[in-house]
Amino acid sequence: MSRAAVLAGVGGYVPPRVVTNDELAQRLDTSDSWIRTRTGIARRHVVDAGTTTGDLAVEAGQRALKNAGADGADLVIVATTTPDRPCPATAPAVAARMGLTDVPAYDVAAVCSGFVYGLQAGSAAVTAGFAERVLVIGAESFSTILDPADRTTSVIFGDGAGAVLLRAGERDEPGAVLDVHLGSDGSMADLITVRGGGSEERSRGGQPRPGDRYFRMDGKSVFFAAVRRMAESSRTVLSRTGWEVADVDRLVGHQANTRILHAVADQLGLPPERAVLNIERVGNTSAASIPLALADAMADGTLTAGDRVLLTAFGGGATWGSATLTWPDLPVG
């Protein structure tokens, strides 16, 4: 049998503070109806002052370990666009806070595709024999980089974290990561970006330009690029896995926008009810969205053992990726 990375545990966490559409409408030119119609979002969770991405990551990581019945991991990967600091990476501190002070840990920066990128890296580490157990965490405090006056982004994003524990196993086991496809196109870097804070800004000298510290997104262009790339990547990974589209029981896409997820399902020829959705309750949590959706879908029974699952995402960079696995029998609660 061939060695493979097997999903052994899942955990999700969102901060307690909830921001509803009506609350946003009190300070922005918007309404609950406008937001729901265009995004499918009713509420989102945001961090309180003093709570960091690392705090969310630790909580989700601990829940994934508990779900797996494991006491640790040999490698920790944190996918995030909102690290606690520009330097150093957030992952080593997260690992240390979990009692994992002697293991390698690093960040992955692929924005909303970050979890799929991290899943590929973790799976490859297990397959190559570098690690026996890998903790892959997607964590974001996106509210900290949003322009509070920009309704096009403020209504979409939320904060949270999700995590999975991968363990060494066999490819024919339920939960084995069967294949991962990744892609990028740097010519689309300006579609999703925070221009300030890096060497590009600092090398110019002078004062930072107003607004460069905030997240910006060309929503219309992102919509079309996301649907196209997620559908293409999904077809590629399905072909490499040996699955037909009809074989897919659940499509767990990056929770960017309900219309995007339904459009991807339509492009693939999947019934919309096979798409897992939790965006209404948590918004777009970027790198955290897929593992959070997995945790929620497992908890409410949407995902059951034996389901053939397709993951897919599109994010800044531009980056995209997809993965396939058969859902394992994991404890709920």
Tens-digit pLDDT profile for residues 184-193? 999 999 999 9
The CA distances from residue 2 to 87, 128, 235, 310, in Å, are 38, 11, 24, 21
Give pTM, 2 decimals.
0.97
Number of helices and strands in the chain (H, E): 11, 13
231-278 confidence digits (pLDDT tens):
999 999 999 999 999 999 999 999 999 999 999 999 999 999 999 999
The strand pairing partners of 182, in sequence order, are: 321
- Span 121-129, average pLDDT: 98
Pick the catalytic residue from 45, 67, 112, 257. Answer: 112
311 beta partners: 252, 323
Strand order in the sheet with 177-184: 177-184, 319-326, 308-315, 250-253
Torsion over CA of 164, 169, 172 and 174, rounded to 10 degrees? Answer: -30
* 181 has catalytic annotation: no
**Which candidate in 67, 257, 278, 284 is catalytic?**
284
From CA 246, how far away is CA 102, in angstroms rounded? 44
Q: What pLDDT digit, counting tens, does each position of 72-95 carry?
A: 999 999 999 999 999 999 999 999
Who's near 250: CB < 8 A, 6+ residues apart?
Answer: 274, 275, 276, 297, 302, 303, 307, 308, 309, 310, 327
Q: Which one of the listed residues 45, 67, 254, 278 is annotated catalytic?
A: 254
Q: Is 67 a catalytic residue?
A: no
SS3 label, residue 259: helix
How is residue 107 written in tokens?
A: 């960040």
